Amino acid sequence: MSYPASASSLRNPVAATPEAIAEGRRHFDHDCAVCHGKDGSGRTEIAHGLYPKVPNLRHEADLTDGQLFYIIRNGVRFTGMPGWDDPDESLWKLVLLIRDLPKEPMEPATAQPPAAGSGESR
């Protein structure tokens, strides 16, 4: 996905207070969790049927706050991700919540079987 240069450099003007993150959580649970899951993993019944695959928000560390805001505001064409016409402050709180989601390691592309003689049984 491409972003305007101005979006990439935007900084979140909302302080990451527990209250702001809690407000982001309420918004996320109401509007976003149906596809992204309450944990942000994108593993939901609805997401299962979407193409392209719903992203795991716990892996979005490579996006800037401004890029996340841009995606939330404008959506992603030709996907199930709509744009949201909510007040800017509300969307910035969603960015805070996404940044606050517990991170999980990326899943390896292929699982390696136990090495011979490692003592692990199958």
The pLDDT tens digits for 55-65 are 999 988 889 99
Cα separation, 48 vs 92, whole angstroms: 27
Note down the domain range covering 56. Answer: 16-100
Residue at 108 is within a domain: no
Per-residue model confidence as pLDDT tens for the chain (122 residues): 788 999 999 999 999 999 999 999 999 999 999 999 999 999 999 999 899 999 999 988 889 999 999 999 999 999 999 999 999 999 999 999 999 998 865 555 444 444 455 444 44
Here the CATH number for the domain that contains residue 74 is 1.10.760.10
Calculate the alpha carbon distances from 71 to 57, 81, 85, 115, 120 in Å.
Answer: 12, 8, 12, 43, 45
